[in-house]
Chain A
Amino acid sequence: MAAAATSRVQLFRRRLQAGDEAAHLLTLLFGVSILLITVLLVWELWVNSALPRQKFGLGFLFGRVWDPVAEQFGALPFIYGTVVTSAVALLIAVPFGLGAAIFLAELAPARISSALTFVVELLAAVPSVIFGLLGVFILVPFLRTTVQPALQSTLGYLPIFRGPVLGVGLLAAGVVLAIMIVPFIVSISREALLAVPAEQREAALALGATRWEATRQVVVPYARLGIFGSVLLALARALGETMAVTMVIGNDPRISASLLAPGYSIAAVIANEFTEASSEMHVQALIELGLVLFLLTILLNGVARLLILGMGRQGGRP
């Protein structure tokens, strides 16, 4: 009797485990599929960029000439364009975004804050091609007729504002990117600021600080993790942005000191030339550019993680 009962329990236990095992395996399958897809993606990029890697090696990253006729391919103009437009975007978006986040987290009454945050987050959902549309028809003419001449007449001695006024160019792309990434900075920084314990704020105020001083010297540093994270997230988005950039950047693979000059970004050149790259080397050079962009993004994400980890150990929000 007792033996039969134990074996029934064992059977039950086995079935229990079988059910869970099955579920484990099933979901594992899907989890592994993501692993496999990503590995396959990187592998495809690597394998299909073999020709230019063999021909140019690391020099690809520093080559300034992109000449499909002579089959000379260098990535530097595109890396330059990508980095510069993203930098311009951050320079514009971070002050505005952080400022707006501070306002929404510290100053605005709760209902206005959540309503306005909702509106800002809607901006994040706007598809990039629509930003391109607005860029082409509104921003570029505005830059060409108003902003850029003004910049030239006041600050034209600076090398970054020299050259013919075209409307399209690095500055236009930077501004469009800035508008696209501001919502990320606002919403994530706001959450980081809201998560700062009230005691910190109150302690600063109790010590006689003005609201601004409390914010600047206590709250923001406490939330710097989240704020920095939002900036990096925004940057990653800016680097990979394709459509809005290619519609306003001027599509010229040159490196020029002036922001008013046209440029080219990695994503934009791939979009323009991929379906029509005439030779195998050309296609593979474009794929290698895609690989470079991918690695740049991974590097950025990796640095972000390390910094957040490091910052976490130092103190501030755990």
Chain B
Amino acid sequence: MKTRFILRKAINALMLGLTGLCALVTVSVLFFILGYLLWNGGRALDWNFFTKLPSPPGETGGGMANAIAGSAKLILISVLVGLPVGFMAGVYVAEFSGKTMAFFVRYTTDLLNGVPSIVIGIFVYAIAVLPVKHFSVLAGGLALSLILIPVVVRTTEEFLRSVPGPLREGALALGARHWQAVATVIVPAAARGILTGAILGAARVAGETAPLLFTSFNNRYWSPGLGEPSASLPVMIFTYAIAPYDDWHRQAWAAGLVLLGLVLAANIATRWILSKGLSAQR
């Protein structure tokens, strides 16, 4: 009996130690990625990177100014299109729909969420690039918005549902119509959560590369307006990383750092927003 007990205790210590190891490894990987990007990317970041256009291969001094602007524009378009659609659809499912419609909308949203981003790229190529016969920022933004919409729908629905019953009933008791209750009480109560969902979604689409390959394509120059192809950070990273030029590799690291910094900043910002919200409610 005693030996069995010792054995059990030993296994206990071993397994729990192993789980700690797993956690350590997982966390270390992120720190390694961050550290490596900071080291390599930080060395490569210079004023040129942020202000200059790409230069021909073999020449130094080029930058990714147009890619940064292009990514900003793409994210903006995707949010301008995806946020309203996703938000309204989320409101519909959470507040106004009947059971069957809710099921269908939720199901297709999940479906859309499951579409691999490269397939979304093919789809948007077929409907937004081929018919007008040119690649464009708009097509790229549309592709990204299709990826953003399911995220926003789900977050909106989740946070709307989490608004406490008494708050809802109070609004209705004060004589508000359903839509008034939704617009003036329920949505504002859930606004923080919905906002964080939007920010997280935007951070995610910021890093998407595959759907941009056939939609916004790439561009050596600035891309004013909506109708021209545009450079973007993820596509530049991809193009530069697989090339043999050392200067391009250097720039790829810098771009990776910028992209990662953006994404991490967004994630940390959402944490902060959510935590503020919770303490305010308390």
- CB atoms of A100 and B19 under 8 A apart: yes
B76 at the interface (CB under 8 A from A): no
Interface SS of B by simple majority = helix
Give Cα A300–Cα B96 distance, bound, in whole angstroms.
Answer: 30
Residues of A within 8 A of B89 (CB): 27, 30-31, 33-34
B50 at the interface (CB under 8 A from A): no
B21 at the interface (CB under 8 A from A): yes
Q: Which 8 A-B pairs have the closest CB atoms?
A: A127-B207, A240-B116, A99-B22, A27-B92, A23-B179, A30-B88, A103-B19, A210-B12
Residues of B within 8 A of A211 (CB): 12, 16
Contact with A along B21-53 (1 / 0, CB 8 A): 111011101110100110000000000000000
Partner of A123, one of B30, B122, B266: B30
Task: Decide: A99 near B19, CB < 8 A? Known: A20-B177, A38-B111, A122-B264.
Answer: yes
Residues of A within 8 A of B116 (CB): 239-242, 267, 290, 293-294, 297
B101 at the interface (CB under 8 A from A): yes
Task: Decide: A45 near B122, CB < 8 A? Known: A20-B177, A125-B264, A130-B259.
Answer: yes
Pull 27 A–B residue pairs with CB atoms less than 8 Å apart, ordered by A.
Answer: A28-B92, A30-B88, A31-B101, A35-B105, A39-B108, A40-B127, A99-B21, A119-B31, A125-B203, A125-B264, A125-B266, A128-B208, A129-B238, A132-B237, A132-B238, A133-B241, A133-B253, A133-B256, A210-B12, A241-B116, A242-B118, A243-B210, A270-B119, A274-B213, A294-B116, A298-B114, A301-B111
Find the A residue at minimum CB distance from B264. Answer: A122
B280 at the interface (CB under 8 A from A): no
Tell me the chain A residues, 123-139 only, with Cβ under 8 Å from chain B: 123, 125-130, 132-134, 136-138
A197 at the interface (CB under 8 A from B): no
B73 at the interface (CB under 8 A from A): no
- CB atoms of A44 and B126 under 8 A apart: yes
Taking the closest CB of chain A, its distance from the CB of B212, in whole angstroms, is: 10
Give Cα A187–Cα B158 distance, bound, in whole angstroms.
Answer: 18
- CB atoms of A100 and B179 under 8 A apart: no
- CB atoms of B119 and A293 under 8 A apart: yes
- CB atoms of B33 and A271 under 8 A apart: no
A90 at the interface (CB under 8 A from B): no
Give Cα A298–Cα B107 distance, bound, in whole angstroms.
Answer: 11
Residues of A within 8 A of B78 (CB): none
Residues of A within 8 A of B200 (CB): 125
- CB atoms of B22 and A103 under 8 A apart: yes
Which of A34, A179, A293: most chain B Cβ within 10 A?
Answer: A34
Contact with A along B228-269 (1 / 0, CB 8 A): 000000100110011000000100110010011001101100
- CB atoms of B115 and A128 under 8 A apart: no
Taking the closest CB of chain B, its distance from the CB of A137, in whole angstroms, is: 7
B271 at the interface (CB under 8 A from A): yes
Taking the closest CB of chain A, its distance from the CB of B88, in whole angstroms, is: 4
B139 at the interface (CB under 8 A from A): no
Taking the closest CB of chain A, its distance from the CB of B29, in whole angstroms, is: 6
Give Cα A145–Cα B266 distance, bound, in whole angstroms.
Answer: 37
- CB atoms of B96 and A23 under 8 A apart: yes
Q: How large is the interface on A (under 10, 10 to 19, 20 to 34, 35 or more residues)?
A: 35 or more
- CB atoms of B214 and A275 under 8 A apart: yes
Give Cα A287–Cα B123 distance, bound, in whole angstroms.
Answer: 9
Give Cα A35–Cα B178 distance, bound, in whole angstroms.
Answer: 25
B93 at the interface (CB under 8 A from A): yes
B110 at the interface (CB under 8 A from A): yes
Partner of B20, one of A40, A95, A103, A293: A103
Contact with A along B94-120 (1 / 0, CB 8 A): 011100010011001111101111111
Residues of B within 8 A of A98 (CB): 22
Partner of B12, one of A44, A45, A213: A213
Give Cα A242–Cα B91 distance, bound, in whole angstroms.
Answer: 32
- CB atoms of B118 and A240 under 8 A apart: yes
B180 at the interface (CB under 8 A from A): yes
- CB atoms of A23 and B178 under 8 A apart: yes
Residues of B within 8 A of A270 (CB): 118-119, 122
Give Cα A127–Cα B210 distance, bound, in whole angstroms.
Answer: 11
Residues of B within 8 A of A179 (CB): 29
A198 at the interface (CB under 8 A from B): no
Residues of A within 8 A of B149 (CB): 34
Partner of A96, one of B25, B33, B146: B25
- CB atoms of A125 and B91 under 8 A apart: no
Taking the closest CB of chain A, its distance from the CB of B275, in whole angstroms, is: 11
Give Cα A118–Cα B270 distance, bound, in whole angstroms.
Answer: 12
- CB atoms of A34 and B105 under 8 A apart: yes
- CB atoms of B122 and A120 under 8 A apart: no
Taking the closest CB of chain B, its distance from the CB of A103, in whole angstroms, is: 4
- CB atoms of B108 and A97 under 8 A apart: no
Give Cα A241–Cα B208 distance, bound, in whole angstroms.
Answer: 10
Which of A210, A298, A300, A301: most chain B Cβ within 10 A?
Answer: A210
Residues of A within 8 A of B242 (CB): 136, 247
- CB atoms of A267 and B210 under 8 A apart: yes
Give Cα A249–Cα B260 distance, bound, in whole angstroms.
Answer: 23
B85 at the interface (CB under 8 A from A): yes
Residues of A within 8 A of B105 (CB): 31-32, 34-35
Residues of B within 8 A of A239 (CB): 116
Taking the closest CB of chain B, its distance from the CB of A135, in whole angstroms, is: 9
Residues of B within 8 A of A297 (CB): 114-116
A11 at the interface (CB under 8 A from B): no
Give Cα A136–Cα B239 distance, bound, in whole angstroms.
Answer: 12
